[in-house]
Amino acid sequence: MAILVLAEHDNSALKLDTAKIVTAARAIGDEVHVLVAGHQCDAVVKAAQALQGVSQVLVADASVYQAHLAENFAKLLVDLAPSYGHILASASSLGKDTLPRVAALLDVAQISEVIAVVSADTFVRPIYAGNALETLQSLDAIKVMTVRASAFDAASEGNNAAVTTLDKEFEAKTQFVSQSLTVSERPELGNAGIIVSGGRGMGSGENFGMLEQLADKLGAAVGASRAAVDAGFVSNDLQVGQTGKIVAPNLYIAVGISGAIQHLAGMKDAKVIVAINKDPEAPIFQVADYGLVADLFEAVPELISSLG
């Protein structure tokens, strides 16, 4: 049976996560379809068609899908479900909001945060904040699963998949009122190649300015620990960790972060981890590839000036 991937987009651009979920879908089977539900989203459809390994793009273009309400998406996915053996979405806010509804409506188990595909019915996912990996086999006829995008490479482009237009409009009782988005020039945390992250050791929101300078020199995104977010230093969309974003950049620089297990759950898959902490016993040094025992208020300005 075919595999259906829910595309994530903002009606004008396809998110990189979708290309990564397509790679996970390809590990399950050959017939991969992508569902683009949105409004006036032609550019997104083209981008989905281009992904290697996608054989069909299903397009539901209607005003009810403009705001990407999980309630409406879930109804659409449930309607399409009988033709599919697997329904996949990124383990993002949208995926985590939508797929459990789909699983409940189909009366199957929700499989969350898959990081590896063993076979068409067997998957690996982290449990206990990433301290153990669970291999599970699903006996459900339809597998409904969120996939951790950071665990898969993005499918390459160059394809031209067929398009099927769906005439299906499902509207739940939820109404979209408004949204307020954080606008940033820096790369998105989830897809950044380099992340400079600050913790409680930063001492204040103003001091995060130092990390922003460093991030700008490196073309990096800025992240934070939950303690830094809870203290009001930065907004909570920057939080990395078990209850924040899960990231796997090429380089993660942790500044004034102790390395609590819940923080590590969000960043320990980074390829290279650098830690700056004045406490040589800080647990972050156990996962760091490079550790600098130093006062961050001396080390970070030095780093910025040596980067020119």
- Nearest distance, CB of residue 96 and ligand FAD, angstroms: 14
Q: How many residues bind ligand FAD (CB under 6 A)?
A: 27
**Interaction residues for ligand FAD, span 14-33 (CB under 6 A):** none
Q: Check residue 279 for interaction with ligand FAD (CB under 6 A).
A: yes
Q: Check residue 253 for interaction with ligand FAD (CB under 6 A).
A: no
Cα–Cα dist 226/231, whole Å? 8
Residue whose CB is less far from ligand FAD, 33 or 263 = 263
Residue whose CB is less far from ligand FAD, 3 or 260 = 260
Residue whose CB is less far from ligand FAD, 75 or 263 = 263
* Cβ-based neighbours of 15, under 8 Å, separated by 6 or more: 7, 8, 9, 90
Selected binder of ligand FAD within 20, 263, 274, 291 (CB under 6 A): 263
- Nearest distance, CB of residue 128 and ligand FAD, angstroms: 11
Q: Check residue 295 for interaction with ligand FAD (CB under 6 A).
A: yes
Q: Check residue 231 for interaction with ligand FAD (CB under 6 A).
A: no
Residue whose CB is less far from ligand FAD, 49 or 277 = 277
Q: Check residue 292 for interaction with ligand FAD (CB under 6 A).
A: no
**Interaction residues for ligand FAD, span 117-146 (CB under 6 A):** none
Residue whose CB is less far from ligand FAD, 84 or 233 = 233
Name the site residues for ligand FAD (rule: CB under 6 A).
Answer: 199-201, 225-228, 239-244, 256-258, 260, 262-263, 266, 277-279, 282, 295-297
